Amino acid sequence: MTIEELFRAFTDVDFRYTRFIKTRDYERTNLEKFDALIESIRLQTLKMDLSPGINEELQKTGRLDLDFFPRVSFLRKFLGFLTFGLSKRRFIERKIHEYYLKEIHQRYLLVQSIQNHLAQE
């Protein structure tokens, strides 16, 4: 990956991040594309060996869990039974949204720090 391709990938990540934030649409295909883009940036940045702090963060960062499903406690299941599944469904949707929002935002901030580091050099 050349530097130009890397900067195009930064622009693509920015666009995809903004789309996730605005639409809250976590379809598997969109998540797979975002995850593949972040992984390519991560691998290229590790090859470039920018700084020890960035490298440590990149090594800790893994792939997105595309099959994330929150654990549902017995109490939540019982409450879902009483409300005909409505509260359980809302709980699961909220937890999935929180997970993907947190993970996507974390990866976006990491990409922004890489981009800032490259702009300073």
Domain hosting residue 44, numbered range: 3-120
Mean pLDDT of 69-90: 91
Mean pLDDT of 72-89: 90
Look at residue 13 in the predicted model and tell me its pLDDT. Answer: 92
Look at residue 24 in the predicted model and tell me its pLDDT. Answer: 87
Q: pLDDT band at 62, cuts 50/70/90?
A: confident
- pLDDT(2) > 80: no
- Determine contact, residues 17/115, Cβ cutoff 8 Å: no
Give the closest residue to 66 by CA, choosing from 98, 30, 12: 30
pTM, rounded to two decimals? 0.85
- pLDDT(107) > 90: yes
- Determine contact, residues 119/70, Cβ cutoff 8 Å: no
Structure tokens at 33: 């594309």
- 28-60: pLDDT as tens digits: 999 999 999 999 999 988 888 878 888 888 888
- Number of domains the chain contains: 1
- 83-100: pLDDT as tens digits: 898 999 999 999 999 999
Instruction: Tell me the pLDDT of the chain averaged across its residues.
Output: 90
Q: Which residues contact 87 (CB under 8 A, 6 or more apart)?
A: 76, 79, 80
Look at residue 34 in the predicted model and tell me its pLDDT. Answer: 93
